[in-house]
Structure 1
Amino acid sequence: MTRLSILDLAPIPQGSTAAQSFKNSLQLAQHAEALGYHRFWLAEHHGMPGIASAATSVLVGHVAGGTKTIRVGSGGIMLPNHSPLVIAEQFGTLESLFPGRIDLGLGRAPGSDQRTARALRRNLHSDADEFPRDVQELLDYFSDEPQSPVRAVPGTGLHVPVWILGSSLYGAQLAAAFGLPYAFASHFAPQELMQAIEIYRNTFRPSAYLDKPYVMLGFNVFAAETDERAFFLASSAQQAFINLRSGRPAKIPPPIKNFLQQISEGERFMLNQILACSAIGAPETVAEQLHAFIAKTGADELMIASNIFDHDARLQSYQIAMNVFQPRPSQLI
């Protein structure tokens, strides 16, 4: 059956703090667990005033420690920022603390601008082959008999599930070549979605990690009791995307009524492109849009993002999404 999961960035609304966002993230994870969501992932970003999930592995531990059954992981760790050994040790520690519940999604982007990436003390001039080598090195650390003389302690033999994340065709090719599950960031970069899915499924090589391709897709949901209120709530995320693309990242702004009528045609065009994979509306509207997206893509799993200013409204949006979600037979992982 198709699964439904959550992507959280520990958002910081205007007037709030990172400390409050961590409390909200834990409450959301507990809410998601009670509703039947499968995973709760947190994403690594740096230098973003509205995103508090920079120390991703620490926050994964916080959420896992406050929940019981839901899988918790990274969506993702930006591997160019880190030594593979350090990530193996961190996620080996998490797996040892919360056995059978930890996922490790890996991204190739820095999750920041060039100045911030430089401050992370990583080499910004690495060749194109470094990411695949780093993934392979990380997989080796988790194996029963690593080829490397260096050992990740904890880590060795723990077989933490590793995912490849991407928003382009590169990630699809790499995930297929390694025989790993693939998560596509269609919730903010949908342009190459269908081509990436096709490449991944058509070139997938069965591996010790996975015998058949498994696709998880990002999808935005802004759900409320009426279409009008849902579009009102969605305006916070729309403002945040415009601010980001304009070089003015900020905390999550409060919603604005009739926001789309107040911006330029160019800004509306940009939002239509970025947020093409979204459901905005009342329960019936969201159900129709969710079903259409699953029918179009054949997704094995959806990872829902609801970047809503008001925390209670955010909880309600995720509840509506689960209430209207109709799973279908599919490949399980």
Structure 2
Amino acid sequence: MSTKKIRLSVLDQSPIRKGVTAGQALQETVQLARHTDKLGYYRYWVSEHHNTGLLAGSTPEVLIAHLAGETKNMRIGSGGIMMPNHSTLKVAENFRMLEGLFPGRIDLGMGRAPGTDRLTASVLNPSNQFSEQDFVQQLYDLINYFHDRGEPGTPQSKIRAIPQIETVPGMWLLSSSGQSGLFAAHFGMGYSYAHFINPYGGAQSVQLYRERFQPSEDLQAPEVNVALFVFCSEDEEKIKRHRAVMLHRFLQFEKGAPVYPISYDDVKDIVYTDSEVERINYNSKRVVTGNPEQIKTQLTRLALEYDVDEIMAVTITEDFEDRLRSYELLAEVFELRG
């Protein structure tokens, strides 16, 4: 196995554990950010989700401002801002403000999914047509806002996103299907593939992004990372319990059943049907679990498969201390420098 040098980052959805309030979940996000900053993680992204009792992260732009102030070294960003929910000008101004406060440390990761159900998305933005062309136009407009320009005769030629900051946040597109990888290549943006949502076809999507990448004024060469669920522990029983909970949660999402915080005790005695077992096996590649050496082998193999040097770990555990410890073990085995 190659000794490929891998940079580690964090994607945090602010999960609400069973018996824990949303407020406590947000405080755990703050604590985890401080912790991984000291461990030597490269970047820390927070997500946007709505109308769910499982995840507390609804407004990345607010959380980023706080986390950037609580950390010193990591890049802090969104994973991602769901662009169809927002005014492009407001996104530009939010992230110009963040870039002005924390220059050179801010990432704007963007998605074109709503991060919620269609009804909630329609209330967040009543004019949302869920149109691919609208998303592409938003990307054009966003770049123009960041560079204080616009096509003659358009509103963008008369409007400036303030504060007018000389630097531009890192721009990334997120995808679990590959389509946004082509947009990222066209616009010269970074590309983050969500292996934790779809573990099939990602390597081909990344390769296509690299082949079609067009350098932009903000990014001269392709930049890629891959995000997946990771749990590292020296306790085999904890690993078994973690996989059981995660695989059940995937199944509940697919069924469209109400999703709420669960524990191992809630799922340990469930007998699955043959079709459910088939889906569980299909989804098993979305999460990587094991002891430190097993994790190092699996993540190194994945990085080689994708041809990337950055892995974003998403870790959700029953016990918060296990979550902190998982990131510690990852940092140790990959020899991060805090």
**TM-score greater than 0.5 by the shorter chain:** yes
Q: Percent identity?
A: 36
1:251-266 aligned within 5 A: 251-256=260-265, 259=268, 262-266=271-275
Amino acid at match of 1:307: I
Structure 1 runs (4+) greater than 6 angstroms displaced? none
Are the aligned partners of 1:42 and 1:76 in contact in 2 as well (CA < 8 Å)? yes
Structure 1 residues 155 and 131: alpha-carbon distance in aligned structure 2, compared to 1, 3 A threshold: farther
Give the Cα–Cα distance (whole angstroms) in 2 for the partners of residues 239 and 275 of structure 1.
10
Give the Cα–Cα distance (whole angstroms) in 2 for the partners of residues 260 and 120 of structure 1.
39
- 1:100 has 2:104 as partner: yes
Are the aligned partners of 2:186 and 2:214 in contact in 1 as well (CA < 8 Å)? yes
Amino acid at match of 1:139: I
The two structures have a TM-score, normalised by structure 2, of 0.90
Residue of structure 1 in register with 2:223 after alignment:
214
- Structure 2: give runs of 5+ residues left out of the alignment: none
Are the aligned partners of 1:95 and 1:158 in contact in 2 as well (CA < 8 Å)? yes
Give the Cα–Cα distance (whole angstroms) in 2 for the partners of residues 172 and 285 of structure 1.
30
- 1:69 has 2:73 as partner: yes
Residue of structure 2 in register with 1:25 after alignment:
29
Amino acid at match of 2:161: A
- 1:188 has 2:192 as partner: no
Give the Cα–Cα distance (whole angstroms) in 1 for the partners of residues 10 and 246 of structure 2.
16
Structure 1 residues 285 and 227: alpha-carbon distance in aligned structure 2, compared to 1, 3 A threshold: farther
Are the aligned partners of 1:60 and 1:74 in contact in 2 as well (CA < 8 Å)? yes
Residue of structure 2 in register with 1:169 after alignment:
178
- Structure 1: give runs of 5+ residues left out of the alignment: 328-333
Amino acid at match of 1:107: G
Give the Cα–Cα distance (whole angstroms) in 2 for the partners of residues 313 and 126 of structure 1.
39
1:180-329 aligned within 5 A: 180-256=189-265, 259=268, 262-325=271-334
Give the Cα–Cα distance (whole angstroms) in 2 for the partners of residues 282 and 259 of structure 1.
22
Of 268-277 and 298-307, deviating more is: 268-277
Give the one of 5, 13, 18 matched to 2:9.
5
CA RMSD of aligned residues (A): 2.0
Residue of structure 2 in register with 1:133 after alignment:
137
Give the Cα–Cα distance (whole angstroms) in 1 for the partners of residues 269 and 328 of structure 2.
26
- 1:35 has 2:39 as partner: yes
Residue of structure 2 in register with 1:86 after alignment:
90
Are the aligned partners of 1:141 and 1:156 in contact in 2 as well (CA < 8 Å)? no
Are the aligned partners of 1:40 and 1:70 in contact in 2 as well (CA < 8 Å)? yes
Of 232-241 and 51-60, deviating more is: 232-241
Residue of structure 1 in register with 2:114 after alignment:
110
Structure 1 residue 57, shift from structure 2 partner? 0.9
Paired residue secondary structure (1:276)? helix
Are the aligned partners of 2:82 and 2:114 in contact in 1 as well (CA < 8 Å)? yes
Are the aligned partners of 1:31 and 1:315 in contact in 2 as well (CA < 8 Å)? yes
- Listed one character per residue, the Cα deviations across residues 266-300 of structure 1 (whole Å, up to 9, x for unaligned) are 33332333341432111121122112111221113
Amino acid at match of 2:285: A
Of 275-284 and 288-297, deviating more is: 275-284
Give the one of 48, 52, 57 matched to 1:48.
52
Amino acid at match of 1:304: A
Structure 1 residue 144, shift from structure 2 partner? 5.1
Are the aligned partners of 1:279 and 1:285 in contact in 2 as well (CA < 8 Å)? no
Are the aligned partners of 2:6 and 2:334 in contact in 1 as well (CA < 8 Å)? no
Structure 1 residue 77, shift from structure 2 partner? 0.3
Amino acid at match of 1:188: I
Give the Cα–Cα distance (whole angstroms) in 1 for the partners of residues 330 and 290 of structure 2.
10
Of 206-215 and 75-84, deviating more is: 206-215
Give the Cα–Cα distance (whole angstroms) in 1 for the partners of residues 90 and 255 of structure 2.
34
